[in-house]
């Protein structure tokens, strides 16, 4: 059962608002610096290290309520979604590339990590703003509660339905001391059991070169670069770029040139507002088809008619019921025919706009002639 049924939005909002009242009231300040990993853990409702200057802030009842709320929400997500996705991925995608592209993603590291665990590099991109790297000890104490509340609101849809609502995210992440996607990425990394090692704000020049970002920097692709590690201690890198992927912007932003250097990659597309169906997203569509060794997507990704059957092997999973009512014009008869004759294996988790289990669809497209040099093989 989705936590949408166990924690309705109104009750969720009321609980967060009530729980953070204690954190919102002044109770002194804390001296010294906090590590970036302790910051991520604090935002995620997890205890920082005992010696951290953030540790005293966790004694507030408001933060404790925030932690309990996140324990409940992320625990449900792990049981109903992420554990099942990891098991499906391990059984289905035996060969993986070191780099994962997830376009139209927002800050959704959780699903990139679940579908493609262990990648060396993750490249996420969306319209949501990057924000700043959190420094909680420099924030006014009274603002921490409202900032944590904004994070809770912004995570509601992805924790309940597997996707972000871009319009809501842009509004919620443009305000508050902890605005932008960077604090959300910190929460997801910490809740995924990762250790955050480094974080820096970057941007891309027109040639796709990575450079430090700063106030007034002129770029069409502002981003954050986060170095982290999992239980094995191996360094991994997560990029998130706030950039417009439409044809009139993506060609000159440097994003495609930057990404091209990482190819071939595994690509993930879900809940993408059917933008890859449209005539003004041809460049990113062609980029994914040219530079991906595999593409895992729901029906909001690249229309099936763009896959050359001489080059791609297509494997359907789940059920294709057509788009939800918001996107009726993007029904694909050819995709429906593939699901009808392809005897697709069921999936026991929900994904995409049809987020309920047994209503979701996935298509795994694999390049037939793609070289396996440098690929990762799942044991």
Q: What is the pLDDT of residues 151-161, one digit of tens each?
A: 777 776 556 55
pLDDT of residue 215: 79
Could you tell me which residue, 363 or 159, shows the higher pLDDT? 363
Residue 89: pLDDT band with limits 50, 70, 90? very high
Q: What is the C-alpha separation between 337 and 332, in angstroms, rounded?
A: 9
Number of structural domains, the chain? 1
DSSP 227-260: EEE-TT--EEEEEEEE---SHHHHTTSSHHHHHH
pLDDT single digits (tens) 223-272: 999 999 999 999 999 999 999 999 999 999 999 999 999 999 999 999 99
**162 contact partners, CB below 8 Å, separation of at least 6:** 81, 111, 270, 271, 350, 351, 352, 355
CA dihedral 89, 95, 97, 101 (to 10 degrees): -30
Region 297-315: mean pLDDT is 97
How many C-alpha atoms does 103 have within 13 Å on its Cβ side?
30
More confident residue, 147 or 92: 92
Stronger pLDDT, 150 or 251, i.e. the higher one: 251
CB 352 within 8 A of CB 163: yes
pLDDT at 30 over 50: no
pTM: 0.88
pLDDT for position 374: 62
Distance CA 94, CA 11 (A): 42
What is the residue-averaged pLDDT of the chain?
86
Question: What is the percent of the chain where pLDDT is above 90?
Answer: 68
pLDDT at 27 over 60: no
- Print the domain residue range for 48: 3-377
């Amino acid at each position: 059962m989705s936590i949408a049924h166990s924690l309705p939005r109104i009750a969720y909002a009321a609980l967060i608002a009530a729980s953070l009242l204690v954190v919102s009231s002044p109770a002194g300040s804390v001296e010294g610096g906090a590590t970036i990993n302790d910051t991520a853990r604090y935002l995620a409702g997890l205890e920082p290290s005992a010696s951290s200057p953030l540790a005293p802030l966790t004694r507030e009842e408001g933060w404790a309520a925030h932690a309990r709320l996140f324990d409940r929400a992320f625990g449900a997500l792990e049981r109903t979604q992420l554990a099942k996705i990891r098991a499906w991925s391990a059984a289905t995608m035996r060969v993986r590339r070191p780099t994962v592209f997830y376009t139209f993603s927002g800050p959704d590291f959780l699903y990139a990590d679940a579908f493609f665990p262990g990648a060396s590099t993750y490249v996420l991109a969306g319209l949501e703003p990057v924000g700043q790297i959190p420094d909680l000890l420099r924030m006014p104490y009274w603002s921490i509660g409202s900032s944590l509340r904004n994070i809770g609101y912004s995570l509601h849809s992805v924790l309940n339905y597997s996707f972000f609502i871009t319009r809501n995210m842009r509004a919620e992440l443009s305000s508050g001391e902890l605005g932008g996607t960077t604090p959300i990425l910190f929460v997801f990394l910490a809740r995924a059991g990762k250790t955050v090692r480094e974080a820096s704000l970057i941007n891309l020049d027109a040639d796709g070169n990575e450079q430090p970002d700063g106030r007034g920097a002129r770029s069409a692709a502002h981003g954050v670069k986060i170095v982290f590690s999992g239980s094995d201690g191996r360094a991994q890198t997560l990029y998130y770029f706030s950039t417009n992927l439409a044809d009139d912007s993506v060609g000159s932003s440097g994003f495609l040139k930057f990404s091209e250097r990482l190819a071939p990659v595994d690509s993930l597309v879900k809940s993408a507002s059917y933008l890859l169906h449209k005539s003004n997203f041809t460049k990113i569509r062609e980029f994914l088809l040219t530079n991906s060794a595999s593409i895992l997507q729901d029906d909001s990704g690249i229309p099936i008619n763009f896959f050359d059957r001489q080059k791609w092997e297509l494997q359907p999973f789940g059920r294709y019921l057509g788009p939800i009512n918001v996107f009726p014009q993007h029904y694909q008869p050819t995709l429906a025919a593939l699901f009808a004759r392809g005897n697709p294996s069921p999936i026991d988790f929900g994904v995409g706009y049809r987020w309920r289990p047994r209503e979701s669809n996935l298509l795994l497209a694999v390049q037939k002639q793609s070289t396996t040099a440098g690929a990762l093989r799942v044991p």
